[in-house]
A and B are shown apart, each in its own frame.
Chain A
Amino acid sequence: MHKEEIIKISHITKRYEENAILEDFSLSVYEGEVVVIVGPSGCGKSTILRIMNGLEPIQKGEVTYRGEKVDGKLGSITRIREKVGMVFQSYELFPHKTILQNIMLAPVLVQKRDKKEVKEEALQLLNRVGLLEKKDSYPRQLSGGQKQRVAIVRALCMHPEVLLFDEVTAALDPEMVREVLEVLLSLAKEGKTMVIVTHEMSFAKAVADRVIFLDGGHLEEEGTPAEFFEHPKTERAKQFLNTFTYDKVERE
């Protein structure tokens, strides 16, 4: 069984001034797959997502979407962006628009879809994440977890073929982390193609089909969650996974 490749980034080199963020990095995402990218802060995880969505210029390499090369022109990028939904760490909802307006903006203005039809779908999706009664509220009236669920709905309403999640729970309290991750888990069950950057290791283990471990701008290790979390091959990965466990303090 070989599934179709949706996004492929190949031999990407990304630098900020002199510092290399990514060095000759390649990754393919296949249809229906959940890829989780983990690694220490500043290893380039988020940059990968931003490159996949054309938000970050690259020095070398190329991005292809279903075999079609994405060049630097805005026309080519916007077409891809409609198909690649992105959810950010700090939600990035429009503060002066209601929840419904936030969700409907791009489907109506960018995709030129029928307003009525979009509204119906938006309400359905809001209902699904348990936020239907918030449709006319403004973002500041919502909790962090609620805002993030709205941001996910906003991305879903564009009918993306791939969803990118950039540390979507990093700014949330533990209980809110749960409510947001539940949504992601249900999307995974539906067979949505997703690329997730996260620090929640137990969530990564539960949701991933494939785990990518990144360090210092290059791929250190790649495998199924069972392989990676139970039997990491590289020293660096073992070391990284150890930072999430603590030894019991022995008092004298």
Chain B
Amino acid sequence: MEFKEMFFMLTKGTWDTLYMVLISTLLGYIIGLPLGILLTITDVDGIRPNPVLYKILDVIINVTRSIPFLILLILIMPFTKAVVGKSYGTTATIVPLTVAAAPLIARMVESSLKEVDKGVIEAAFSMGAGYFTIIWKVLVTESRTSLLVGVTIALGTILGYSAMAGVIGGGGLGDIAIRYGYYRYETGIMIITVAVLVILMQILQWAGMLLSKKIDRRRGK
């Protein structure tokens, strides 16, 4: 394969991967953030305990998270087809990626919010704050460093999942690595593809950590 051809293929693959990862993480947060907040406030020591609701959410999330991504991908194909119109390609892959991301994100949000000091929450209550103020101005604002670390982890995990989707023609870098590296024995292309994935992961991680350090008021300058 010519260099120019390969360059275009990899650029397109990188773009496809970023598109899948960013959109599904965003959708994952739209579903996962409220779920994580619900888990936090309905738990026994939350601000609005509700054992039944907590247990229901807890079970759903655990079940979804137990399904290996590759199986989930195949399992929800009919659903994907119903939503997007087809079951392969980058846009279609966003569906299973979001389904896998949401429960993971819900758990990470839950653990971030639970780090907020109970005393601070109590102080907010003592000043007459309602649930809405406590959730947004205390729970979410005070755990933002941890939440941002969570975003970094989520992006990294989804990036890994997106590569797996290559197996069923999901598009993106994973797809290229499998098609050329595995089926056509073009090891060179596979290695370059993997290298691009590694670089993407590094950039995400580095940017996430830099940003979370910058907004952390408990440490640093």
Contacts and interface: CB of A to CB of B under 8 A. Distances in A.
Interface in A95-122: 95-97, 105-106, 109-111
Contacts, number: 78
B68 interface: no
A82 interface: yes
B119 A90 contact: yes
B138 interface: yes
B115 to A, nearest CB: 11
B128 A96 contact: no
A82 B130 CA distance: 11
Interface in B174-221: 215, 217-219
B142 A96 contact: yes
B142 A81 contact: no
A55 interface: yes
A110 B133 contact: yes
Interface string B123-153: 1111111110100011001101100000000
Contact of A82 (B128, B138, B215): B128
Contact of B217 (A78, A88, A138): A138
Nearest to A106: B127
A184 to B, nearest CB: 18
B141 A74 contact: no
Contacts of B138: 94
B130 A78 contact: yes
A81 B122 contact: no
A86 interface: yes
A95 B220 CA distance: 13
B120 interface: yes
Interface size class of A (residues with CB under 8 A): 20 to 34
B45 interface: no
A153 to B, nearest CB: 13
A86 B124 CA distance: 10
Interface string A111-146: 100000000000000000000000000101000000
A105 B117 CA distance: 17
A34 interface: no
Nearest to A79: B128
Nearest to A90: B119
A96 B146 CA distance: 12
A25 to B, nearest CB: 20
B130 A55 contact: no
A78 B128 CA distance: 4
B127 A81 contact: yes
B126 A96 contact: no
A88 B141 CA distance: 21
B217 A55 contact: no
B142 A95 contact: yes
A96 B119 contact: no
Contact of A97 (B130, B141, B145): B141
B147 to A, nearest CB: 11
Contacts of A78: 128-130
A81 B133 contact: no
A94 B120 contact: yes
A74 B217 contact: no
A81 B126 contact: yes
A12 B124 CA distance: 25
Interface string A35-78: 00000000000000000010100000000000000000010001
Interface of A: 53, 55, 74, 78-82, 84-86, 88, 90, 92-97, 105-106, 109-111, 138, 140, 154-155, 158
> Which 4 interchain pairs have the tightest Cβ spacing?
A92-B123, A106-B127, A81-B128, A82-B128
10 contacts: A55-B122, A74-B131, A79-B128, A88-B122, A88-B126, A92-B117, A96-B142, A96-B144, A97-B141, A110-B130
